[in-house]
Chain A
Amino acid sequence: MPDSVKLTVNGVAVAAPAGAMVSTAVAMAGANAFRRSVSGEPRGPLCGMGICFECRVTIDGRAHCRSCQVVCREGMEVRTDG
């Protein structure tokens, strides 16, 4: 079992620790804003447990995924709002 998992965040390659959540990968990629709010504010995780929906990103084309509850998988393509 490899120690790290390779995925991309907004096209940038990230090596996340095995078992890490996608939220970790997004933070490691240096993206501050996981999503933009209704009025355009940058937002990131608030609750850490899949309730607040502030950590939403697009994973492999599927929108509105809660990144704090999805484990990184090899080859995942993650997109944030900015």
Chain B
Amino acid sequence: MADRAFGVVVVGAGPAGLTAACRAAECGKRVAMLDDNPQAGGQIWRGASPQAAAWMRRAERLEVEWISGARVFDAPAPQTLAVETFDGEFRVGYGSLILATGARERFLPFPGWTLPNAMGAGALQALAKSGLPLAGKRVVIAGSGPLLLAVADYMKAHGVDVRAIAEQAPQAAITRFAMRLAGHPGKLMQAIALRAGLLGVPYRTSCWPVSAQGKDRIESVTLRNAAGRTWTEACDYLACGFGLVPNLELAALLGCRIASARVEVDDQQQTAIAGVYAAGEATGIGGLELSLVEGEIAGYSAGGNVDRAQALFATRASHRRFAQALEAAFALRPELRSLPQPGTIVCRCEDVSFERVRACANWREAKLHTRCGMGPCQGRICGPSVEFLLGWGAESVRPPVFPARIGSLSR
């Protein structure tokens, strides 16, 4: 059934996938690494990233088969994945599988959030790294998480006029987080350097967007703070994302155990399904260093080198503590549940308003009666926001886990 078979297949070529692929190959396994983007590096190492380049050179030396532009849409038979490319499709068989599917941004709807040029924070950075010319443009960065600072840093370095950074978390939470960074000296220095580089850009905590204005594209955004003060910033782009959520759809399709929106793994990074491992943001949002070490452990485990895997457990534990501090610091405040107005679009695929969704008793009813979550994004955008706004958990997953051509589905 499979067109090609490998000892280890790695899905995702971000930091976790790259390290996993290399370590598994070092153990002597025949490894293939797939990613739906044209280049490796995932989201965080986009563009000309020296770290990604270094790992790619290593992967090449180790003869890891790198398959770009490849999106896994189904698991049609045991130990087999169905993959679609721009022009074709293929089946790949695996002895072991490592899921390094990463994370996506969480979007919260507010009036005007659908205007062109309003997008995620990581999204604007990704587009910039893909060639979008932003020098001289006015950008407001909003939402939550360390990603906002990283994006602001990149923007400043590339001549963008960053007008403001609006972080919804309170200053006290950020400060507590920064104090905990003292336990991670490398990160502390990173944070200080970031803040220093951003001198001149207002970084406002307890602050969030309440509406965006514009006719055919965004022209301004209104921000408010916890004290109730509001003001409007003119802008060309709004880069707004409220933290990250793991990409779990393939793991769910394979039957992995998922709890608290993360794939459950044991010390070896193995999921509930024997031979299926997970590493990186999919096991819980934890940042770059944690993704790297989890990828290494998964790669060594899938490669059969228990000792090398075990040697990294302490590092992983340390980075996990950082991840927990991260989650606590940037928790979303309850005021954000009032962001959408009744008429605000919650499902962008099917243009379903908040009041229509809210009138339903649960996700299943909303899907059937309003079509919310029934569009091509398969609930990836509206799901996390509806979960935050209404407390509805995600439903079971069926193939295709990404839209796929009928010809690909019917092989």
Contacts and interface: CB of A to CB of B under 8 A. Distances in A.
Direct contact between the two chains A and B in their complex (CB within 8 A): yes
A44 B351 contact: no
B217 interface: yes
Contacts of B377: 51-53
Indicate the member of B122, B127, B351 with the most A CB atoms within 10 Å.
B127
Interface in B6-57: 36-38, 43
Interface in B138-187: none
Contacts of B287: none
A34 to B, nearest CB: 7
Nearest to A41: B114
Contact of B217 (A19, A32, A38): A32
A52 B403 CA distance: 11
Contact of B131 (A20, A46, A64): A20
Contacts of A16: 131
Given A44-B119, A71-B38, A38 B350 contact: yes
A69 B37 contact: yes
A48 B116 CA distance: 13
B307 interface: no
A13 interface: no
Contacts of A48: 119-120, 122-127, 130
A39 B130 CA distance: 30
A43 B116 contact: yes
B38 A49 contact: no
B126 A49 contact: yes
Majority DSSP secondary structure for residues of A touching B: loop
Interface in B279-301: none
B348 interface: yes
Nearest to B375: A53
Nearest to B350: A38
Contacts of A27: 127, 132-133
A61 interface: no
B380 interface: yes
Interface residues of B, number: 40
Given A32-B217, A42-B116, A43-B114, A51 B127 contact: no
B117 A52 contact: no
A52 B348 contact: yes
Contacts of A53: 349, 375-377, 403
A27 B119 CA distance: 14
Interface string A11-35: 0000011011101100110001110
A5 to B, nearest CB: 10
B110 interface: no
A45 B371 CA distance: 21
Given A27-B132, A70-B86, A39 B351 contact: yes
B349 to A, nearest CB: 7
B217 A44 contact: yes
Contacts of A19: 131
B89 interface: no
Contact of B116 (A44, A49, A50): A44
Interface string B99-122: 000001101000000111111101
A50 B381 contact: no
Given A43-B114, A52-B377, A64-B376, A32 B216 contact: yes
Nearest to B125: A48
A42 B86 contact: no
Given A37-B114, A38-B350, A69-B37, A46 B381 contact: yes
A52 B123 CA distance: 11
A50 to B, nearest CB: 6
12 contacts: A27-B133, A32-B216, A34-B116, A43-B114, A47-B381, A50-B36, A51-B380, A52-B348, A64-B403, A69-B37, A69-B38, A70-B86
Given A24-B132, A42-B116, A48-B123, 13 more contacts: A21-B127, A21-B131, A27-B132, A38-B350, A42-B217, A48-B124, A51-B377, A52-B381, A53-B349, A53-B403, A54-B348, A69-B69, A70-B86
Interface of B: 36-38, 43, 69, 71, 86, 104-105, 107, 114-120, 122-127, 130-133, 216-217, 345, 348-351, 375-377, 380-381, 403
